[in-house]
């Protein structure tokens, strides 16, 4: 069983890193944004270094959220439309192992993105955090990506790659803007703030923002993220049952 998981994980890892397209797009936009909003446009915050660390977390979370929703979702749709998932179903491989492999591959990709973006922050602005802060914020972002992976799995049930990529793009951008990843929620209208406080993306970012500000993520954030995870997973089990019951 362990051998099976290991082989599956290795295959998924190979596939992700041999497809530089996904890795490139998940890094390009966040790093460009980071450059623009900390070096080019002077957003004039009171404490420049605090803003640089804050926005670095925004962009790391933004990047990971994107690959969790989009890469996961689109790949699942591709595998289904190409008949690969059907083939896997007739092999003795338990679907849990198949899924574990996918999650592992995604997490590695997230880890890679986080490392690249942190490095970019360090190189561009000399962002300096304690070792504990680097580590904790990185772990928070990896763990906090779970609800978004579950959302990606939901996207993965869509029939066509075009639909999946359209829908996931809208969701991704919507969640990022409304969750204060591009611009802090504080400078947005009241209504936007109220909506934002219920979005998983806000709480995902907020945990990391608090860590780099020397605090800890709030329990409320953890609960809300877990809540979204549970809802997405239940939906996904339900849809899967429905699709298979033919």
Partner 1 sequence: MNHVIEMNGVSKAFNDKKAVDGISFTIGKGSITAVLGPNGAGKTTMISMLLGLLEPTEGTIKVFGSSPRDVRVRERSGAMLQEVSVMDRLKVREIIALIRSYYPQPMDMDFLLGATGLAPADLNRYAEKLSGGQKRSLSFALALAGNPQLLFLDEPTVGLDTTARRHFWDTVRELAARGTTILFTTHYLQEAEDIADRILLFSQGTIVADGSPEEIKARMVKQSLSFLPAGNAAHLRGQLLELPSVEDCYDKDGRIHVTTENTDEALRGIFTGGLAVRDVRIHQGSLDEAFEQLTMNREEDTK
In angstroms, give the least distance from the CB of 158 to partner 1. Answer: 18
- Nearest Cα neighbor of 89 from 154, 236, 161, 97 is 97
Structure token pair of residue 143: 């763990």
- Closest to partner 1 by CB, 33 or 98: 98
* Element housing 237 (H / E): helix 219-244
| 164 vs 178, beta carbon nearer partner 1 | 164
What minimum distance in Å lies between the beta carbon of 156 and partner 1? Answer: 15
Q: Is the distance from CB of 130 to CB of 118 less than 8 angstroms? A: no
Report the greatest alpha carbon distance in the chain: 60
At how many degrees (to 10) do helices 146-155 and 131-144 cross? 30
To partner 1, the closest distance from the beta carbon of 27 in angstroms equals 18
Binding site for partner 1 (CB under 8 A): 3-4, 7-8, 11, 14-16, 18-19, 78-79, 82-84, 86-87, 89-94, 245-246
Q: Which is nearer to partner 1, 164 or 185 (CB)?
A: 164
In whole angstroms, the minimum distance from the beta carbon of 87 to partner 1 comes to 4
Q: Give which of 98, 158, 118, 152 is closest to 27, Cα–Cα.
A: 118
CA 208 to chain centre: 13
Residue 74 or 136 with smaller CB distance to partner 1: 74
**Are 42 and 128 contacting, i.e. CB atoms less than 8 angstroms apart?**
no
> What is the closest distance, in whole angstroms, from the C-beta atom of residue 178 to partner 1 in the complex?
33
Give the residue with the Cβ less far from partner 1, 22 or 34.
22
Residue given tokens 């979005």 in the structure block: 199
């Amino acid at each position: 069983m362990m051998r099976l998981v290991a082989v599956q994980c290795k295959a998924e890892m190979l596939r992700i890193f041999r497809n530089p397209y996904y890795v490139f797009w998940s890094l390009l936009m966040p790093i460009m944004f980071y450059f623009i909003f900390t070096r080019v446009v002077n957003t004039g915050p009171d404490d420049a270094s605090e803003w640089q660390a804050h926005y670095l977390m925004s962009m790391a979370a933004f990047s990971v959220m994107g690959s969790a929703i989009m890469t996961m979702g689109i790949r699942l749709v591709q595998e289904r439309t190409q008949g690969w998932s059907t083939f896997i179903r007739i092999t003795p491989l338990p679907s849990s192992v198949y899924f574990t492999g996918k999650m592992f591959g995604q997490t590695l990709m997230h880890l890679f993105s986080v490392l690249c973006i942190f490095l970019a922050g360090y190189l561009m602005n000399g962002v300096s955090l304690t070792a504990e802060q680097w580590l904790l914020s990185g772990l928070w972002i990896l763990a906090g990506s779970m609800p978004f992976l579950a959302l990606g799995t939901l996207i993965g049930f869509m029939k066509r790659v075009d639909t999946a990529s359209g829908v996931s793009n809208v969701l991704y951008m919507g969640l990022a803007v409304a969750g204060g990843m591009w611009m802090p929620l504080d400078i947005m209208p009241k209504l936007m703030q109220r909506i934002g406080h219920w979005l998983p993306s806000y709480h995902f970012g907020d945990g990391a923002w608090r860590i780099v500000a020397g605090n800890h993520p709030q329990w409320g954030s953890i609960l809300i993220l877990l809540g979204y995870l549970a809802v997405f997973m239940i939906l996904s089990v339900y849809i899967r049952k429905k699709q298979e019951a033919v």
